[in-house]
């Protein structure tokens, strides 16, 4: 399937999604909001994909939602206020869907961020499993700077990823959150010298993930997501039931033999 707002490449069990509108700083226009949800539906059902990389071309990762598109989504000025607000609420839920699709993707999603990442871009990368950046990267919760509350996931996901006081400062001030600070405070995992080095590093990590048992990777992501939203006792019950039903003896044997022989195990894809 062809997409207009990004490129999709699948090779060696890695799906790479690349935002490809650098002339507009990869602003997230009308097509993005439908296509991004669709591509994650496709990826989640593709048994060959074991990990996803979200990257972009050009100087900046993304300038956030295209403000021209955003203006077209506002209800008519003469509409009944209650009906107008119902329409707006439903549209906000529509805009949340692509980032929910990242969160719900059964395989890990890695973000590779260079340059600026504004507004909805922070919503996007906060929904990813792991974030990596180039040295020139920065994040801005841009919504506060245009008089609104961020509503696509940043204020719900990012507080679980960085200290509370820092989260509040970024949300209230709309200041730049630079790469080194993001690394020091746990939002990103690694800082590379430049965009090229960043992509090389992220693809190396992706290849390491892709080499693992896909069933074990899916289970690990499911457990981490469940743990985020539940207490320890519930999590222990869930993993006990999960492994009782989905622990693959074949994969465990392959992994053990590979470890003993210092070789690489070859794991089967998940089923279609």
Q: What is the pLDDT of residues 162-175, one digit of tens each?
A: 999 999 999 999 99
Domains of the chain from N-terminus onward: 6-210 (3.90.226.10), 214-261 (1.10.12.10)
Q: Both tokens of residue 96?
A: 């949340």
Q: What pLDDT is attached to residue 158?
A: 98
Q: Is the pLDDT of residue 1 over 80?
A: no
Cα 218 to Cα 119: distance, rounded to the nearest angstrom: 29
Q: What is the pLDDT of residues 169-194, one digit of tens each?
A: 999 999 999 999 999 999 999 999 99
Angle subtended by helix axes 81-104 and 30-44, to nearest 10: 40
Any bridge partners for residue 134, and if so which? 192
| pLDDT band at residue 16 using 50, 70 and 90 as cut-offs | very high
| pLDDT band at residue 71 using 50, 70 and 90 as cut-offs | confident
Q: What is the mean pLDDT of residues 31-50?
A: 95
Q: What pLDDT is attached to residue 77?
A: 84
Q: What is the mean pLDDT of residues 84-104?
A: 94
Q: Is the pLDDT of residue 92 over 90?
A: yes
Q: What pLDDT is attached to residue 180?
A: 98
Angle subtended by helix axes 232-246 and 214-229, to nearest 10: 160
Q: What pLDDT is attached to residue 67?
A: 87
User: Which pTM value belongs to this model?
Assistant: 0.94
């Amino acid at each position: 399937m062809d997409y207009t707002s990004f490129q999709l490449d699948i090779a060696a069990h890695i799906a790479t999604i690349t935002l490809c509108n650098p002339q507009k700083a990869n602003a997230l226009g009308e097509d993005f909001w439908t296509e991004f949800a669709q591509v994650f539906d496709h990826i989640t059902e593709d048994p060959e994909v074991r990990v996803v990389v979200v990257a972009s071309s050009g100087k900046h990762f993304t300038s956030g939602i295209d403000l021209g598109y955003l203006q077209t989504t506002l209800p008519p000025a003469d509409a009944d206020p209650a009906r107008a607000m119902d329409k707006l609420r439903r549209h906000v839920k529509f805009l949340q869907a692509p980032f929910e699709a990242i969160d719900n993707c059964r395989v890990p999603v890695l973000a590779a961020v260079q340059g600026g990442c504004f507004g909805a871009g922070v919503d996007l990368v906060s929904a990813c499993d792991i974030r990596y950046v180039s040295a020139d990267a920065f994040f801005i919760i841009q919504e506060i700077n245009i008089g609104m509350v961020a509503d696509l996931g940043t204020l719900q996901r990012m507080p679980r990823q960085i200290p509370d006081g820092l989260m509040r400062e970024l949300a209230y001030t709309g200041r730049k959150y630079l790469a080194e600070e993001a690394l020091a405070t746990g939002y990103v995992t690694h800082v590379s010298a430049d965009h090229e080095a960043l992509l090389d590093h992220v693809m190396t990590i992706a290849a390491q993930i892709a080499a693992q048992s896909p069933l074990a990777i899916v289970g690990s992501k499911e457990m981490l997501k469940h743990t985020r939203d539940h207490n320890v006792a519930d999590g222990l019950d869930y993993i006990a039931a999960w492994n009782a039903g989905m622990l693959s003896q074949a994969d465990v044997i392959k992994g053990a033999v590979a470890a003993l022989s210092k070789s690489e195990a070859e794991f089967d894809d998940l089923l279609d």
